[in-house]
Amino acid sequence: MHSAAPHLNHFCSVIPNTSPFPYTPIYDINPPELPEGWHSFQSRLSPPMPPPGPFGSTVTLPRVLPPHLQVFTVEKMYKTKTSAHQHVAFQAYLSLYHNGLLSDHLLPLTDEMQTPLDDEVKALLKDIDKRAAMAGVSCQIDPWSPVGESNVWQSSELAIDGFPVLVMFTLSRPMTLLKQDGPTLYRPDGDPLKVEWRIREDLIPSEHDIEQAQRYTRRLFWSLHGSYMKWENMDFTHLFLPTTDIDRLQWDARRAWLTERNAQSELPNADPLIANAAAFGVDFGFPTDLTLISRGPSWAKTARFLRWEFNPVSPDAEEQLRKIHSRTPDLEITYPLLAAVAVSKRRNFLTPLPPRSLPPKEILLLPQLP
């Protein structure tokens, strides 16, 4: 959905064009941002308020396309203008695909398509730009088991500087990447890390090992992507398991505590991995071996744990704390607080980062709030 508009722009840009102006899709929002006649003198005296939504959108494609592929519309049912434009772009691109103007790779106007084409489409294909649409790359790994082979898990070790080694199970045979050949991970708030990947021919996972790895991998992914996952679905393409887990009994006890609390809770659909921080701290002595905390009832806002703050904070820090919890009237500040920093939204850790002038801003949170 999020890439439909760029794909549609690319499709229009490669349509053969003899005019000096490029072909681009034209979007019209519904309702319009400003009513008819807004530019008149009378309207300028009292500028109209923009419509609050919901919104619809219409996209118009170049007239060289067949008439039934020129205009697409979605109804007024989306909360934002961006969402309306994305949905109409998706509808248009899907229609182009069903009408034979895109390949199975969703690439525009290729002469390798096998679907029957009408005369208008054939005319477009004659003069299409013959630039390469796909390129070969090396060192690819298919995470799924090849068709016709048995589902035998292959074992390897993933070593990242400064972290415990993880065993990795994949359905396809992995490769070996020594430290000098492995990728470098660039963290927003730390030094770069080197990654090493080694095959473990001697390690044949049992069914119990795979079950443990599935549960561990689910917890690993859930902490950042739980809103996109289903708890009962553990069909991952690759699995992880720590080689040493000295704190496993301690964390098993904590998870059992949370399971019991959720069973007694009146809240429906309690998250299996999110605990109330205040209750957790009291029952387990305010432990410091934490990593992520959620700033709400879901993983929508995640912060990295720094410490429990038992000392009274400065007036400026208290004012900032009240701003963060501005939705809670008559906020009573009790101690300890949670000190944290926001988790970076960065997802590509292979690209170097520019030098950072200031450290990440510390935030304070009340642990007793849900």
pLDDT at 14 over 80: yes
Over residues 178-196, the mean pLDDT reads 88
CA dihedral 196, 155, 153, 224 (to 10 degrees): -50
Q: Which of 11-25, 60-74, 86-100, 193-207 has the lowest mean pLDDT?
A: 11-25
| pLDDT number for residue 336 | 92
Grouping H, G, I as helix, E, B as strand and the rest as coil, residue 239 is: strand
pLDDT in tens, 55-96: 999 999 998 899 999 999 999 989 899 999 999 999 999 999
- Provide the residue count of the chain: 370
Most confident of 51-60, 142-151, 269-278: 51-60
Q: Which domains does the chain have, with CATH numbers?
A: 4-126 (3.30.160), 154-242 (no CATH), 248-365 (no CATH)
Q: What is the pLDDT of residues 304-358, one digit of tens each?
A: 999 999 998 888 888 888 888 777 777 888 899 999 998 887 878 888 888 777 7
pLDDT of residue 187: 86
Q: What are the CA-CA distances from residue 191 to residues 162, 165, 197 (Å)?
A: 11, 18, 20
What strand order describes the sheet that includes 362-365?
Answer: 292-294, 302-309, 337-342, 362-365
Closest CA to 160 of 190, 135, 133: 190
pLDDT at 317: 87
User: What pLDDT is stored for residue 370 in this prediction?
Assistant: 46
Q: Which tens digits make up the pLDDT trace of 271-298?
A: 888 888 999 999 999 999 998 888 765 5
Higher-pLDDT residue of 124 and 20 is 20
Residue range 92-125, pLDDT digits in tens = 999 999 998 888 888 876 444 344 555 665 565 5
Work out the mean pLDDT of the chain and round it to a whole number.
Answer: 82
Instruction: Classify 159 as helix, strand or coil.
Output: strand
Indicate if the pLDDT at residue 152 is higher than 70: yes
Contact, 246 vs 233, CB < 8 A? no
| Greatest alpha-carbon span in the chain | 82
Residue 51: is the preceding peptide bond cis (ω within 30°)? no
Closest CA to 25 of 52, 64, 56, 55: 64
Residue 57 is predicted with a pLDDT of: 94
Q: Rounded mean pLDDT of 204-223?
A: 91
pTM flag (> 0.75): no
- Of 8-22, 124-138, 152-166, the one with minimum mean pLDDT is 124-138
